[in-house]
Chains A and B, each alone.
Chain A
């Protein structure tokens, strides 16, 4: 036992300086063992524990005391040596400078190593700041700054149409509009069109990659050629052409193992044998859609004029060399003016003051890809920059304290002949060494943090595949490190700058001259810190409130214990009538699962789904599809969402029926009926009862003439365009009726299951149910509705969490800063406090004295921060939901939090001040 204890103590004693151990000899270990035996004898088992605790505490304490004594002695020797060594060659010239720098560096490293606590705290604080900045900047760089991954991407434009009367600011373009604009414009080298969807790919297991139908011009317009094989030709785009596809490099690798013989082989796409004609290079994509399989866009030129109402294409154009965006827009205006004359049809793009206003717009492709994220990222970058500033202010304070304790060194070195420049060089070297070390650690933190950030929130940002560290990010970090290094170095110099002669006078005496300037500087730093923290906390507070409002929004349906997945039935295998049968069989199977209370299906999944915007005729609103008056200019009415559902949708989703009735069993075989939402009633039935009114699709569906459908009920509004967007007009139709009457059934449905059984239990059962009906069908997007809602708010959540973290960090740093300043203040005023207490001041007076000082600083900072936030939170306006940038509740809440944090940060040093023993203080001074 003693030998074990001895070995243990030998390890513990390593903390002590070596020469101390050598001098003490074996007596040290003997004494330790004796102490342990003594404790054990005295207290038994507890004694073993307390004995070791005391021994370790004793070792650490002694070691600390020894190192400190040694450092003081050694520092002095070191800088005296430094200056003396420098004496003979104190001359100008590059060589001397380099030599000096080398010495500075050596001296700096030595002094930093000798203060491991200070060095570690400084480097870690800075590394956090620099790391967070680097991480956010690499996102800004990848998403906002870096050009899109196409050659001469700045010439690529995104072309869309508008329906101002329907509130659509960026809408798709119809095939005839595409062809007419492509052929007649003067500003574009080429224009390509595309539409995205997803296909069932007959791989093993069946998968459902995102697909894009692209016109033959699209890839040349983007300036990217296939890596292997060929692009699409005009022949591929003829409706009767044999089906062909181009694979993305990623899909080729993942599903086909990167086999080189894939070209000219057939793969099964939507149950049709499709020939692979090419493979795109890695990373090729359009509009960040993560497209993995490309097919030709077939446009039937025979029936082109009938497709005017069918807007489903996005256009990308490459501007001619030397043509600016403004010129292209001016040219577009010329086209819009000429269009109605060249094409005699009511439904052509035009700019007019009437409701048929249907202009087009041109935007840089990159702006459209990035969208609203730019503001958010700029805000985040600013926030994280503020955090770094606060960290810098804290560290500057630390450095001033260090400079104070080193004023004797500076004085002595000046006396030895060191110039001001010489000292400055030394200080800047120290700052740079710290900052560069911090930047190195920070880049490591940034890499880890970035990976974490993107894996937690892969869908919150566009272009995440392009986010990474590149030379620009590294350059940014380097510049940041150098700037912080200089700031660090120079802050203590400002302090010395009050005159070295003064410093020399001070060094010997305990005079307080210069203390006032120093106190002002430090107080200023605290105020700035608190103000910046307030700014960040206000921003975070607003976002949190906004997010809370988002989550509080009534989505119109009950999402608890509701889960969903979707299936896609390829047209080749599932004609319309088989689709309805399939959905019914699947619903029956799901209903039989344990704990299931209701099953339904819908082609659009709330709360966020693409708009349909189908032209719709209302019997009571005359328009062109009715009996046409010769000069009538009104286009068809338009309904935002046509929702096809199965029987029992409103019941399973928990959507209340406000008026009339919902679908019932006899409707399956009965006359065509629809449900409408409150928004539709408000828009089209403001003056009449909707129940019993009739409407129909505004265009014919193939050869089928569509019948009128009767409105049987009004249901509560359900969110479809996003939680933060106003509800659009919506009508619900039964898919059973659609198939029977119009010969139409959606090929893709979202199955919705309400069940008491946990989702984890249900998920494999869902898969089995689908596989029992058709093992080749992939199941996609299987989740709970809570997750669906969560995904719909992924971006606001991402922002809120990040800004929240930064604000918390800022708050913590500001609190530590305030605490540090006050502690220092207490130490500096110990004498004064001692005298006051000796003269009869009681503890509460002292407490008040110190607290007042701290609270005044904090309150000034708070007021400044609130003022700045009034000016700056306006930048957040586009990101807020149901909260004004000037939100009194948030501002009051933030003020309360700040005052509380400041009070705690001030209380600790103030309370410690009351512990001052006047006798000890007065005696020592």
Chain B
């Protein structure tokens, strides 16, 4: 009987084939690409990089951090200071996270190339004359 349950539930929660990363996940992973950051740091990084366009909100940020952690794309690490009850948690990109982040970037790059080929975008460096 218990065998049945295991089989039944495991098929139900089988992960789907890798889909495109949600944009905000991509942004968060990018923020962690070159350094460990805590939640607030990720938020600031995303905000600055996007010129204030991508604004993360606290509960959503932390829920997604938990989901990223559960998906093993990021992992908690000790911060630069000794851990104390009041200090925030730092996160680091895992190998899997780095791989998915790269895949997403490549996917986007391919899209950008298509856009260039179709003359939606100009070549990099060309001035807007």
Contact = CB atoms under 8 A, between A and B. Distances in A.
B55 A62 contact: no
B89 A38 contact: no
B15 interface: no
A55 B57 contact: yes
B86 A31 contact: no
A85 interface: no
Contacts, number: 72
A34 B66 contact: no
Interface in B3-43: 4-5, 8-9, 38-40, 43
B8 A34 contact: no
B82 interface: no
Contacts of A30: 39-40, 88
Contact of A28 (B55, B56, B62, B87): B62
B129 interface: no
Given A16-B59, A38-B47, A58-B60, A25 B88 contact: yes
B63 interface: yes
B61 interface: yes
B40 A34 contact: yes
B55 A35 contact: yes
Contact of B61 (A31, A65, A412): A31
B66 A80 contact: no
Interface in A12-38: 13, 16, 20, 23-32, 34-35, 38
Contacts of B89: 25, 27
Given A25-B88, A26-B86, A27-B89, A35 B62 contact: no
Contact of A59 (B1, B52, B59): B59
A66 B63 contact: yes
A768 interface: no
Contacts of A26: 86-88
Interface string A46-68: 00000000110011011101100
A912 interface: no
Given A25-B89, A416-B1, A31 B63 contact: no
Contact of B63 (A29, A62, A416): A62
A76 B8 CA distance: 12
Contacts of A38: 47, 55
A402 interface: no
A415 interface: yes
Interface residues of A, number: 32
B39 A31 contact: yes
B58, B65, B89 interface centre (most CB from chain A within 10 Å):
B58
B44 interface: yes
A731 to B, nearest CB: 85
Chain B contact surface mostly:
helix
A23 B59 contact: no
A28 B52 contact: no
Main SS of chain A's interface residues? helix
Nearest to B59: A62
Contacts of B43: 31, 34-35
A836 interface: no
A66 B70 CA distance: 14
A32 B47 CA distance: 14
Interface in B71-129: 86-89
Contact of B5 (A9, A66, A80): A80
B5 A24 contact: no
B8 A24 contact: no
A42 interface: yes
Contact of B8 (A25, A32, A58, A412): A412
A63 B60 CA distance: 9
Nearest to B88: A27
B67 to A, nearest CB: 9
A254 to B, nearest CB: 63
Contacts of A415: 4
Contacts of A55: 57-58
Contact of A23 (B57, B66, B86, B87): B66
Contacts of B4: 415
A31 B57 CA distance: 8
A76 B62 CA distance: 26
A34 B47 CA distance: 11
Interface of A: 9, 13, 16, 20, 23-32, 34-35, 38, 42, 54-55, 58-59, 61-63, 65-66, 76, 80, 412, 415-416
Given A31-B61, A32-B58, A59-B59, 10 more contacts: A23-B62, A24-B62, A27-B40, A27-B62, A27-B89, A28-B59, A31-B40, A31-B56, A58-B59, A76-B9
24 contacts: A9-B58, A13-B59, A16-B59, A20-B63, A23-B62, A23-B66, A24-B62, A26-B87, A27-B40, A27-B89, A28-B59, A28-B62, A31-B61, A31-B62, A32-B58, A34-B40, A34-B43, A35-B55, A55-B57, A55-B58, A59-B58, A61-B60, A62-B60, A63-B59
